[in-house]
């Protein structure tokens, strides 16, 4: 854990994914740890905070999520674009050394025995809300957010502060075929 | 319809929302039309293409979507930030003149009798896939994308081309309290 990681109040945790960043899903079960990239993650509720994430049946991470009932959604940065793309295109089933090859390092947060990815901009500890029809029919998983943290260099006082941070800490937004966009300039609208 | 609007092949339509933009949902039923902003929309499948969107029970748009069984998801631009924020914070039930006050103008695409919002970067015509449990319990709606179009000044040949377009055409990514970010710089990762 680095010195910049600070807890985010759960009622503000939706703000970490509200702008649609590409995420990394990590999970562990029975001594196996995996991390995959996903573009299809989304807020679902404010209180208690919930999110949705789409996990393909072919992924090892999905099996770990289903078995463990817990997982981490974390938000990688521009500095992690290559790693994010690698773990999104390589499967642990075919490549047991995937995480080492990608340079993905894991750590634990105090009080949460889950695999968190080093170097991300924010982390959401999640507890699966089992919905068998959604999972089987749509690959759609619903979870409650039970812990949230962010790198205070880029998210503080409940807001992303990209303008004043190192551009390498900006969030990634995936299109296809290795093409990402970083998040850009702030636009503030007044009034209601 | 303006001269720049071009169809997007359905198999590439997921790319229009893959980077997590804030969207506008529009629907019409029985002579009533409404438009609302939503941050919680997300890809769900490639073929046939599907998406999820969260629609609060208090909104008039949700009622129209449920009654019509069809709706449009469109992607507003930086130039539309004020309008997007307005239609996200004002309800048609309380303010019948909401769309006029917001400056939201509607048009029809050939062959689709749905209300499309003028000036957006892209549009997805959607057909609701009824899932009563998700709708009632989570406010979560699943739909198939049955038509897709984009402004060819900013999306062409299956890719967003923000770098070469007017910055006013960039997509919006909402955080909270009137704070948006525009999408930023392209990052291309090579290899798999």
Asked if the Cβ–Cβ distance from A187 to B180 is below 8 Å, we say: yes
Chain A residue numbers with beta carbons less than 8 Å from the beta carbon of B173 are 18-20, 173, 183
Whole-angstrom Cα distance, residue A120 to residue A58? 25
For residue A138, give the nearest of B86, B142, B158 by CB distance.
B142
CA nearest A15: which of A117, A148, A163, A189? A148
**What confidence tens digit (pLDDT) does each residue in A82-111 have?**
999 999 999 999 999 999 999 999 999 999
Band (pLDDT 50/70/90 cuts) for residue A1 is low
Q: How confident is the model at residue A192 (pLDDT cuts 50, 70, 90)?
A: confident
Does A133 score more than 90 pLDDT? yes
Which residues of chain B fall short of a pLDDT of 70?
1
B56–chain A Cβ distance below 8 A for any pair: no
Contact assessment for residue A14 and residue A49, using Cβ atoms and an 8 Å cutoff? yes
pLDDT of the residue at B1: 61
Whole-angstrom Cα distance, residue B38 to residue B69? 18
Would the pLDDT of A185 be above 80? yes
Query: Collapsing DSSP states into helix, strand and coil, what is residue A53?
Result: strand
> Which CATH superfamily does the domain covering A5-182 fall into?
Electron Transport, Fmn-binding Protein; Chain A (2.30.110.10)
Across-strand partners of B42? B52
A134-146 pLDDT, tens digit per residue, is 999 999 999 999 9
> Does B18 sit within 8 Å of A39, measured CB to CB?
yes
Peptide bond into B48 cis (omega under 30): yes
- Pairing state between β A179-188 and A172-176: antiparallel
Report the 10 Å Cβ neighbour count for B109.
16
Contact check, Cβ <8 Å, B182/A178:
no
> Mean pLDDT over all residues of chain A?
97
Select the residue from A79, A94, A135, A189 to test the B interface by mutation, using most B Cβ atoms within 10 A.
A189
Task: Give dist(CA B77, CA B90) in Å, integer.
Answer: 19
Above 0.85 for ipTM, yes or no? yes
Q: What is the DSSP letter of A171?
A: B
The answer to whether the CB atoms of B40 and A40 lie below 8 A apart is no
Between CA B160 and CA B151 the distance in angstroms is: 10
Q: Which of A54, A189, A192 sits opposite B180 (nearest CB)?
A: A189
pLDDT number for residue B90: 96
Q: Where does residue B178 rank: exposed (0-12), middle (13-18), buried (19+ CB within 10 A)? A: middle
Strand, helix or coil for residue B98: helix
A141 neighbors A52 (Cβ within 8 angstroms): yes
Q: Which residues pair with B71 in a beta bridge?
A: B126
CB contact under 8 A, B140 and A19: no
Residue from A49, A80, A184, A192 to probe the interface with B (highest B Cβ count within 10 Å):
A184
């Amino acid at each position: 854990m680095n010195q910049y990681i600070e807890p985010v109040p759960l009622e503000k945790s939706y703000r970490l994914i509200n702008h649609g960043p590409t995420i990394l899903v990590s999970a562990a079960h029975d001594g196996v740890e995996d991390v995959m990239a996903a573009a299809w993650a989304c807020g679902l509720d404010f209180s208690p905070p919930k999110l949705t994430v789409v996990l393909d049946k072919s992924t090892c991470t999905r099996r770990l999520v289903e078995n463990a009932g817990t997982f981490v959604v974390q938000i990688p940065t521009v500095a992690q674009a290559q790693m994010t793309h690698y773990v999104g295109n390589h499967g642990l089933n075919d490549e047991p050394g995937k995480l080492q090859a990608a340079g993905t390092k894991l750590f634990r947060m105090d009080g949460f025995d889950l695999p968190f990815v080093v170097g991300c901009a924010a982390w959401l500890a999640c507890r699966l809300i089992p919905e068998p029809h959604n999972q089987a029919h749509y690959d759609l998983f619903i979870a409650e957010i039970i812990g949230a943290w962010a790198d205070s260099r880029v998210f503080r006082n409940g807001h992303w502060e990209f303008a004043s941070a190192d551009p390498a800490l900006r969030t990634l937004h995936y299109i296809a075929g290795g093409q990402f966009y970083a998040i850009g300039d702030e636009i503030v609208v007044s009034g209601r």
